[in-house]
Amino acid sequence: MLSMSSGRMIAVLVAFSVLSALHGSPVYSQAPNQLTKPAQKTSSSLRQGDSVGVFYVTKVAGAEDDGVRPGEQLCYRCRYGSSPMVMVFARRTGGRVTELVRRIDRAVFSNRKRRLKGLVTMMGDSTPAVKVAAGEVAAAAKVEHVPVVVAKEVKTGPLNYKLPADADVTVVVAKDSQVVKTHTFTSEKVDIAAVMSEVERILE
């Protein structure tokens, strides 16, 4: 009959406990452009016809001529009223996010007489880190006409918008204070053509 010394038995038990703890712990991506830890999947989001509600943000960059200074807190959605608008909520930077922001910025300028408005709201686990990321996005996209902001509810975004926790990017296209279309994407698979097509539709 085989026997095991008490020292070896203790070592085995310690190793088993460590492995068990690791197996049960969540593992988070360390990608430098990821601002939020992965969350539990959800299917909730605003749907066509839903109202676009009030939410407060802090301006970081962009839209230098809108009369709002960086660091000011306000409700941009309130300022936009019933104007046609496209709002981007992003938990990640990089991928196709920068190009999406650039395209929206150009569209807002080109359609200023049709009152098109845009807003880019960044979210994440840490407000200071998200503010840095917001500034980087604005600089990379060379934003001039769309404000880049940080959500007051920095980890989730505005709760009344029911942003899917598993989406890197959510785009809400609205007109007359109602949702026309909601898109959700990963940062690498943002369908810019689909978003811009919806923007054209709300300007018809």
Nearest to 79 by CA among 104, 115, 43, 129: 115
State the CB neighbour count (10 A cutoff) for residue 130.
Answer: 26
CA distance 61 to 68: 10
Distance between CA 180 and CA 86 in Å, rounded? 10
Length of the chain: 204
pLDDT of residue 38 exceeding 70: no
CB atoms within 10 A of CB 42: 12
Q: What is the pLDDT of residue 91?
A: 95
C-alpha dist (Å) from residue 128 to 60, 76, 120, 138, 163: 11, 21, 17, 16, 21
In angstroms, rounded to a whole number, what is the distance separating the alpha carbons of residues 126 and 120? 17
According to the 3-state scheme, what is the secondary structure of 81-126? CCCCEEEEEECECCCCHHHHHHHHHHHHHHCHHHCCEEEEEECCCC
The answer to whether 185 touches 168, Cβ cutoff 8 Å, is yes
pLDDT tens digits for 144-185? 999 999 999 999 999 999 999 999 999 999 999 999 999 999
- Name the pTM for this structure: 0.79
Q: Specify the pLDDT at position 114.
A: 96
Residue type, 147: P
* pLDDT of 40 above 90: no
> Per-residue pLDDT tens for 65-75?
999 999 999 99
Q: Which residues of 4-30 are buried (b: 16+ CB within 10 A; e: fewer)?
A: eeeeeeeeeeeeeeeeeeeeeeeeeee
pLDDT at 44: 64
In tens, the pLDDT along 77-132 reads 999 999 999 999 999 988 899 999 999 999 999 999 999 999 999 999 999 999 99
Q: Is the pLDDT confidence value at 12 over 90?
A: no
pLDDT at 46: 85
Task: Please name each of the domains of the chain with its CATH number.
Answer: 33-202 (3.40.30.10)
